[in-house]
Amino acid sequence: MSRLAAALVVLAALALPAAGLADDTTPPVAPGAPSLVVGLGLDDPALQAGVLRGREVILARGFEVELARILARRLGGRVERFVHVSSPGRLLASGAADWQLAFAGIPGSSRTVGADLSTPYLTTDVVVVVRRGLDRPRGLADLRSAVLCAVRGDGAEAAAALHAKRAPSLLPSADRLLTAVRTGACDAALVPADEAGRFVAGHKRVLGPVVGRIRHGKGLVVAVARGGGLAAADVDRQLARLRHDGTLGRLARTWLGLDPAALPVLR
Amino acid sequence: MLNSRRVARASVLVIVLAALAVCAPAGASSGSLSSDVWFLQDGRPTAAARSAPGIPGIVRALLAGPNRKERAQGLRTAIPTGTAIRDLRISRQVVTVDLAARFTSGRDATSLQARVGQLVRTLRDVPGVRGVRVRIEGGVPIGLFPGYDLRRIVREAVPEETASGLRDVQELLAALGFMAPTGVTGQPGDETSVAVLAFQKWSGLARTGVLDAQVTSALDRATRPVPMLDRPGKRVEILLGRQVALEIVDNRVERVFHISSGAAGRTPSGAFHVYRKERMSWSVPFSTWMPWASYFTGGIALHAYPSVPAYPASHGCVRMMARDAPLMYAFATYGTPVDVVREYA
């Protein structure tokens, strides 16, 4: 009897971590629930990756892929398949989408024809990582006299230019940016929010703290195809719930290494 | 004996080249092939010899992983056990290998990158193979394997997996302030040795000037040196314990120089400033030339000298390498503060 009880305890313990990872507040999918086709851009490996076979994406994984699955379940359906959409501009201009939802690094400021846009699910703010030994900046004023650096062309350079007294150093790659901060050539690295976790991963000993984020852009949003059976308002409602119950934060920590929305905003 | 070996090698090469010359399915190259397969030892790529029937056999040997003896020697593989080949074709010296979905399992970025590196290294070691095209379940993997764009033919494994090259080390030494950027050449030499010595002194390592595993490991963790004292403006710090001189601007260390100060504590510690400068100074008591001399107290100066050992050796002056002394001379203008710090008891 005691062996049976012990076995039950072990089984329960084994089941707990899995339950912790699952979207446990989501109701089970009802038979006959709508099947969704989800468009993916496959532009950013942390947000979405997979194997492209024709137009179909198999073995899909990433922050947005998980979010799509959870969102579909919260909307009472499931993801039937993922398809590749090559460019957000074309995707949004298309009046005849063969998907219901699309995640393709779509900025909240996009103009659309064939789709409605949700509220943001991921910030496009710029995260500030300082070098070791630098006094922790409390606000943007403290950063003005610092040497700010960013990777050329990744969007953070605009924020660097806005907040630096002298022209920011623009570097060709994240590796160079890392070297510049660890060697003190830069006081602070400005990194796009979705890349900040990967930037600091494994390098915490040679970098200073992640001190906060600078407001930038309007975030990434979901495109909801018009006439696809889903309403953007319903998607917004579910995204708000996912934000409120911590699911979005958990997904960000899992796939991006940190939850940028949890960082303080530097003003 | 030698001739028969040559004939055997030539016949293997002919078989492989024949297989590579035409687009052929997996079974086409059935001759026995001796080549290396690549595993990992302490995370670094390591080769193991294999003989197998053709390129497919070599790939199967790779997927099978290290044998018991190799595992005992510490060899590991990042390729998931049970990964199967779906198809393998060779066309125009490019091998297209289609693997089962299992190859993508796991989320550890290092492992995902390493397994593609193993595959690419193994196939690139086969004579005549110029590139590798990786397919998964018949499709193109996008973003699944960090460091690789598998939409294209892969010619080389990503360099992040290999040990740092000399140029990388020199770039890091320059970025940390231990050598001038002009010293980054990719070639070994005196300038690199002196920079390594300065780094060893700063880091408290054995002062050998040799770029060994201890140095590269310490460099991996190194950050820019910080001054001992907190003072604004342009100044020089001479650290008698570490035997280095620091050029500092607003508490940021610009350069770290290897020096040799006075033996038996003959260089006084304290706060001084440069009060006399001579491009070619004659030392009356020791009857020797002291090029690029910046005097900061009495007859004690920073200057060039032919011998700059890793320990205090002078009569009190601060000896510098002939390459470094003009730089210090230009930096330490009249009135520049010179703080001599005895940082160790």
Interface check for B254 against chain A (CB to CB < 8 A): the answer is no
A56 with B133: CB under 8 angstroms? no
B322 contact A CB<8A: no
Instruction: Please report whether residue B316 resides in a domain.
Output: yes
Write out the two tokens for B110: 């290092």
- B104: closest chain A residue by CA: A59
Is B320 contained in some domain? Answer: yes
pLDDT at A171: 87
Q: Is the residue at B64 inside a domain? A: yes
pLDDT for position A182: 82
- pLDDT tens digits along B131-185: 999 999 999 999 999 889 999 999 988 754 333 578 888 989 998 999 998 888 8
Residues B7 and B136 in one domain: yes
- Which domain does B215 fall in, by range? 166-221
Cα A30 versus chain centre, distance: 29
What is the distance in angstroms between the Cα of A3 and the nearest Cα belonging to chain B?
34
Whether B143 and A51 lie within 8 Å, measured CB to CB: no
Give the tens place of pLDDT for each residue, B44-60.
889 999 999 999 999 99
- Is there a domain that residue B95 lies in? yes
Residue B83: strand pairing partners: none
**Whether B143 and A184 lie within 8 Å, measured CB to CB:** no
Is A49 an 8 Å CB contact of chain B? yes
The answer as to whether B140 is a domain residue is: yes
Distance separating alpha carbons of residues B64 and B37, to the nearest angstrom: 10
Residues B134 and B258 in one domain: no
Tokens coding B141: 């993997």
B230 in contact with chain A, both atoms CB, cutoff 8 A: no
Q: Is B132 exposed, middle or buried (0-12, 13-18, 19+ CB in 10 A)?
A: buried
Same domain for B54 and B144, yes or no, is yes
Chain A residue numbers with beta carbons less than 8 Å from the beta carbon of B184 are none
Substitution target from A130, A183, A194, A203 for chain B, most B beta carbons within 10 A: A183
What pLDDT does residue A21 have?
Answer: 40
Residue B227: inside a domain, yes or no?
Answer: no
Domain assignment present for residue B229? The answer is no
Q: Which of B142, B158, B184 to mutate to test the interface with A (most CBs of A within 10 A)?
A: B142
Could you tell me if B60 and B207 lie in one domain? Answer: no
Regions of chain B short of the pLDDT cut 70: 1-31, 159-164, 344-345
Angle at A37 (CA atoms; ends A36, A39), nearest 5 degrees? 135
The CATH number of the domain holding residue B334 is 2.40.440.10
Which of A68, A115, A128, A129 minimizes the C-alpha distance to A225?
Answer: A115
Residue ranges of chain A assigned to CATH 3.40.190.10: 34-122+219-262, 126-214
Total tally of structural domains belonging to chain B: 3
Q: Are residues B104 and B140 in the same domain?
A: yes
The whole-number pLDDT of residue A15 equals 43
Predicted model pTM: 0.70
Q: Say which CATH class A34-122+219-262 falls into.
A: alpha beta
- Whether residues B7 and B149 share a domain: the answer is yes
- What CATH number does residue B186 fall under? 1.10.101.10
Do B39 and B96 fall within a single domain? yes
Provide the number of CB pairs (under 8 Å) joining chain A to chain B: 76
B177 part of contact set with chain A, CB < 8 Å: yes
Q: Taking CB atoms and an 8 Å limit, are A42 and B143 in contact across chains?
A: yes
Contact of A50 with chain B, judged by CB distance below 8 Å, is answered with yes
pLDDT at A35: 86
Indicate the average pLDDT of chain B: 87
| Residue B91 sits in the same domain as residue B38 | yes
Both B88 and B186 in one domain: the answer is no
CATH architecture of A126-214: 3-Layer(aba) Sandwich (3.40)
Tens-binned pLDDT, residue by residue, of chain A (267 aa)? 455 555 544 444 444 433 334 444 455 545 556 789 999 988 888 899 999 999 999 999 999 999 999 999 999 889 999 999 877 666 676 656 788 899 888 887 777 777 889 999 999 899 999 988 788 888 888 888 888 899 988 777 777 777 777 778 888 888 888 888 887 778 899 999 999 998 998 787 788 899 999 988 888 999 998 888 888 999 999 999 999 999 999 999 999 999 999 999 998
Residues B284 and B195 in one domain: no
ipTM over 0.90: no
Contact of A264 with chain B, judged by CB distance below 8 Å, is answered with no
B41 and B172 fall within a common domain: no
Does residue B70 belong to any structural domain of this protein? yes
What local confidence, expressed as pLDDT, does residue B280 receive? 94
- Considering the domain architecture, whether residues B292 and B188 belong to the same structural domain is answered as no
